[in-house]
């Protein structure tokens, strides 16, 4: 029997059945730290299906909101917890980045009310929203009521990362970056792994 080339291709590219949606019970009502704890418990396959379930979300009118959901409900929480643990000491205490030289009171990294992951350049600029140099632990007061204390933030960025870093971030923030589902499918597992590799991870 002669096998035709087009028949081989037909079987090679046969569509696989879509995996069943995977949800974490009560996820949307969890606080930031609990969301990340729940994500860390998933195995790679479960995480992959969960992210694709979130990425497939639509409004009742059928408008796709998957990218927005992954950005605000998953990626941001994972990234924020990473930043706060990164900036915390071995006991999980954070010092506000814009008051670090004033030795203000310390806050627990998982206390999302008092310890924020604050941006130097506004998070509305996607190109620098997830740049680790642009985000640090900040007190809720400095980040919310102090509008991020950008003047202090600018000075401290250059002190920590070298002169000219702030200007580089400003330039990057004004560039063009595409928000895609693939970006979040790739970056969320990366930052969950980064959290696991932090020395104070077990405190979470």
Average pLDDT of each block of 10 consecutive residues along the chain (204 residues)? 52 55 89 94 95 91 90 96 91 81 58 85 94 92 74 92 96 91 96 95 86
pLDDT of residue 104: 52
pLDDT of residue 101: 47
Q: Looking at the whole model, is its pTM more than 0.95?
A: no
How many other C-beta atoms can be found within 10 angstroms of the C-beta atom of residue 102?
A: 9
pLDDT of residue 186: 97
Distance CA 143, CA 147 (A): 5
pLDDT of residue 13: 46
């Amino acid at each position: 029997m002669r096998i035709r080339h087009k028949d081989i291709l037909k079987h090679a590219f046969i569509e696989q059945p879509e995996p069943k949606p995977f949800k974490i019970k009560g996820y949307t009502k969890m606080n930031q730290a609990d969301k990340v704890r729940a994500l860390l418990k998933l195995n790679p396959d479960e995480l992959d299906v969960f992210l694709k379930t979130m990425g497939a979300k639509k409004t009742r009118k059928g408008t796709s909101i998957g990218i927005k959901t992954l950005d605000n409900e998953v990626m941001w929480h994972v990234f924020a917890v990473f930043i706060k643990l990164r900036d915390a000491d071995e006991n999980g205490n954070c010092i506000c980045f814009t008051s670090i030289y004033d030795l203000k009171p310390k806050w627990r990294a998982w206390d999302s009310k008092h310890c924020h992951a604050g941006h130097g350049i506004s998070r509305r600029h996607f190109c620098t929203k997830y740049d680790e140099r642009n985000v640090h632990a900040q007190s809720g007061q400095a980040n919310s009521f102090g509008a991020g204390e950008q003047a202090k933030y600018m000075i401290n960025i250059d002190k920590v990362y070298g002169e000219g870093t702030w200007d580089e971030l400003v330039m990057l923030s004004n560039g063009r970056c595409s928000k895609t589902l693939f970006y979040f499918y790739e970056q969320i597992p990366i930052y969950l792994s980064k959290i696991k590799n932090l020395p104070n991870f077990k405190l979470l």
